Amino acid sequence: MPDPTTEPASPRSGIDPGARPGPGRALTPAIEVHLTDQDLRDALEADVYEGLTAPAKHLPPIYFYDDRGSRLFDEITRLPEYYPTRAERSILENHAKDIAARARATMLIELGAGTCDKSRVLLDALLAEGSLERFVPLDVSDSTLAAAAAALAREYPDVSIHPVVADFHRHLHLLPEGGTRLFAFLGGTIGNLDPEERWTFLADLRAAMAPQDRVLIGTDLVKDRSDLVHAYDDTAGVTAEFNRNVLRVLNRELRADFDPETFEHVALWNEEDSRIEMRLRSAVDQTVHIADLDLDVTFRSGEELLTEISSKFTPTGIEHELAAAGYGVVEAWRSDGDEFQLTLARPLGSHAPDRRPPDTGWHGNIGPEPEVAGP
C-alpha cells in the first residue's frame, strides 16, 4: 500500500490552502489530503482481522462512526446521563478568553475536529484576542470536514480555513507550521487510547511542536463509579444501540453476517486501569463469517468483544504524564462539578523524551513532582 506520509498533499479544489481570504470575503477551502479511501479500507481490514483473531477480541472505537453511528452519538451527547460533552462545553464557554490569552495563537489546529462545533468557541476567543489568522481542522472523514470547512469559511471570512484529511496517529509532522500554534485535542478522546498509544501520541505531538506552541487537552476525571457507568449505559438504550452499530458497519463494509441482536451491551468500570470499558457480549454460541476477509469468527455464549475504553484521570496524574512526555502545565480549568478538565500545556526542553518512563499513568500519583510551566 502507498504510504501517504511520503506522498505530496492533494488539494481538492483550485484554491491555495495557505491563502488568506480578504476581509469580508469567504472562499471554499481546499482540502489537504494525506489519507485516502484505500488507506482507510486497508486499516479497517487489518484492525478487524487482528482484533477478532486475538485471544481477547477487540475492535477500535473509530468504526462506530458511520452516518448512523454519528447520529446516535449526537443523541448520546444530549442524554441526561452523559455529562462529558456538557461539562467540557461549559469550561470552554467560561474560560475560552483565558485560554486565548495564555496561548496567543496565530493558528488553531483541532485534532479530530469532526463538525468543528466546539472549535467555534475557541475561534471566537482567539479572534477577540486579536491573534488568530488560520484554522486547521484535522479529521479522517473528508465529507464531514468539507461541510464543516465550507460553513466555517462563510462564518469566519477573515480567517484562513485549511482543512486536512489525516490521521493524528501518523501525520502530525505534516501539519502546517509557522507562527504560534494551539493544538486542541478535545472531547476526552485521549481517554480512548491505551497507555502506550497515549505515550506515542504525546511524543509524536511533542516532536512536531515548536517552543512557542501550546496544546489544549480535554480529559474526563475520576468520579463516582455509578455516574461513570450510567453515562455509558443509559436507560433509553441509545448507547447500547450505538455499541451494536459497529457490527452493522462490519456487515456492510466487509460483508460480515453478524446478528447485532444476539449481542448484549455491557458497560463496566475497570478499577485497576481506571477506565470504563464498553463490550458486546454474545448471548449464544455462534460463528460469524466475514466474507471480505475469508474469516470465520467463533463466539462462545457469554464471550465479550471489547469495543471501547474510556480512561478517567486525576489532575495530578495528568501533570505527571505530561511532564514525563516533555510538557509543562501552563494552566488547567475544571467544570463546576469537577467532572472534566481542560489542560493547557507547553513543550519543555529541546525535544521529546526518547522513550516512555516505566510506571507512569494518567490516573496515578506516581513519579517525580511535575515541573509547572510558566506562560
Rounded Cα gap, residues 121 and 138, in angstroms: 17
- Three-state DSSP at 61 gives helix
Q: Are 192 and 358 in contact (CB under 8 A)?
A: no
* DSSP helix, strand, coil percent of the chain (3-state; round to 5): 35, 20, 40
- The residues that bridge with 343 in the sheet, in sequence order, are 217, 332
Q: HSE, CB side, 13 Å, CA atoms: give it for residue 84.
A: 25
For residues 322 and 329, the answer to whether their CB atoms sit within 8 Å is yes
- Helix 238-254, helix 67-76: angle, nearest 10: 170
Neighbours of 344 (CB within 10 A): 22
DSSP string computed for 73-85: HHHHTTSTT--HH
**Residues with Cβ within 8 Å of residue 200, at least 6 apart in sequence:** 169
Do residues 103 and 181 touch, judged by C-beta distance below 8 A? no
Look at residue 148 and give its three-state secondary structure. helix
Beta bridge partners of 160: 134
Write out the three cell numbers for 119. 472549535
DSSP string, 120-132: HHHHHHHHHHT--
Which stretches does DSSP call E strand in 208-336? 214-220, 263-270, 275-282, 286-290, 295-299, 304-311, 327-334
Residue 87 phi, psi dihedral angles, 5° rounding: -65, -45
**263-270 and 275-282 strand pairing:** antiparallel
Question: Which residues of the chain are under the pLDDT cut of 70?
Answer: 1-27, 350-375
Q: How many CB atoms lie within 10 A of CB 287?
A: 9
Q: In 3-state terms, what secondary structure has residue 159?
A: coil
Answer whether 18's CB lies under 8 Å from 50's CB.
Answer: no
pTM of the model: 0.87
Residue type, 197: E
Closest by CA to 189, choosing from 169, 219, 160, 161, is 219
Rounded Cα gap, residues 183 and 173, in angstroms: 13
What is the length of the chain? 375
- Rounded Cα distance between 151 and 29, Å, is 10
Query: What does residue 4 show for φ and ψ, rounded to 5 degrees?
Result: -65, -15
The pLDDT of residue 350 is 67
Residue 237: its pLDDT value, please? 97
Inter-helix orientation angle 37-53/238-254, to 10°: 110
